[in-house]
Amino acid sequence: MENVLDSFSLKGKIALVTGATYGIGMAMAKALGMAGARIAFNARRADQVQQAEAEYKSMGFDAKGYVFDITKEEQVNQFVPQIEKDFGGSIDILVNNAGIIKRISVVEMTVAEFKEVIDVDLIGAFIMAKAVAPGMIKKGSGKIINVCSLMSELGRETVTAYAAAKGGLKMLTKNLACEWAEHNIQVNGIGPGYIATPQTAPLREPGHPFDQFIKGRTPAARWGLPEDLQGPTVFLASEASNFVNGQILYVDGGILAYLGKLPK
């Protein structure tokens, strides 16, 4: 019998992680690299891509960065083939991580601002999945991991566009899983809880009430770290999860299971 740990190896795999120049995306990409994958990543800003590529390489990862916008189908359809040419094979693992958030109340949010969030966080993931699927179908295997959110399940004031996008991303994940499972492509999601990253930095400023609120709402009584997402990422990217389809794996310290602490 094969050792079960061998099923977590990503040796020889080509992974593409969108928005992986910092935070959760970079942590997930590094995890894939530590498990043996070669890493392609993108962002919209050349300076961020160059800086991140230098960081990956300084840590010994086989990584290459590309500057393109996942919301622009023509750019995606130019760069995905370029990546597959540069890496000498079709993409085995896609992590749809790139995302934005705009914390604005609905009354104040413009339709254009709402659409921008939906474009990046939902439609961008659709465009990327659509672009990598033909290679995965031809190869007869593939892994797609969509970075969902607690907001795929819960709402809160001022993040309506983000929650609508992440709720849609949950159902996109389930539906792509239904369409592509017969091709041995597993499509799943990771739902980070409240993670200490630049995206949540405004909520963690000293004295911000949100810091205490989240620690009270999280059974683990702490903010998550990007590293907390690394094991789940390798699991969903590896053969260890070949019979896991259309699931959202919440890495949230227990928030979704918790009614909340009784006030003292």
**Contacts with ligand GCO, 210-229, as mask; x by CB under 6 A:** --------------------
Interface with ligand GCO in residues 38-77 (CB under 6 A): none
Query: 54: Cβ–Cβ under 8 A, 6 or more apart, which residues?
Result: none
Residue 246 CB, shortest distance to ligand GCO, in Å, is 19
Nearer to ligand GCO among residue 131 and residue 165 (C-beta) = 165
Q: Contact between 101 and ligand GCO (CB under 6 A)?
A: yes
Rounded CA-CA distance 144/11 in Å is 17
Cβ nearer to ligand GCO, comparing 7 with 105: 105
* Residues within window 176-215 making contact with ligand GCO, judged by CB under 6 A: 192-194, 199-200
Give the Cα separation of 51 and 150 in Å (integer).
Answer: 30
Does 103 bind ligand GCO (CB under 6 A)? Our answer is yes
The verdict on 147 binding ligand GCO (CB under 6 A) reads: no
Nearer residue to ligand GCO within complex by CB, 19 or 192:
192
Instruction: Check 56, 66, 162, 250 and give the catalytic one.
Output: 162
Is 194 one of the annotated active-site residues of the chain?
Answer: no
Q: Can you tell me which of 150, 177, 187, 236 binds ligand GCO, judged by CB under 6 A?
A: 150
Starting at the earlier edge strand, list the strands of the sheet with 38-43.
63-67, 38-43, 14-18, 93-96, 142-147, 185-192, 248-251
Cβ closest to ligand GCO, residue 101 vs residue 172: 101
Which residues ranging from 152 to 171 are in contact with ligand GCO (CB under 6 A)? 156, 159, 162
Sign of CA dihedral 42, 28, 175, 135: positive
Q: Which is nearer to ligand GCO, 65 or 193 (CB)?
A: 193
Query: How many positions of this chain bind ligand GCO (CB under 6 A)?
Result: 13
Which residue numbers are catalytic? 162
Residues that bind ligand GCO (CB under 6 A): 101, 103, 149-151, 156, 159, 162, 192-194, 199-200
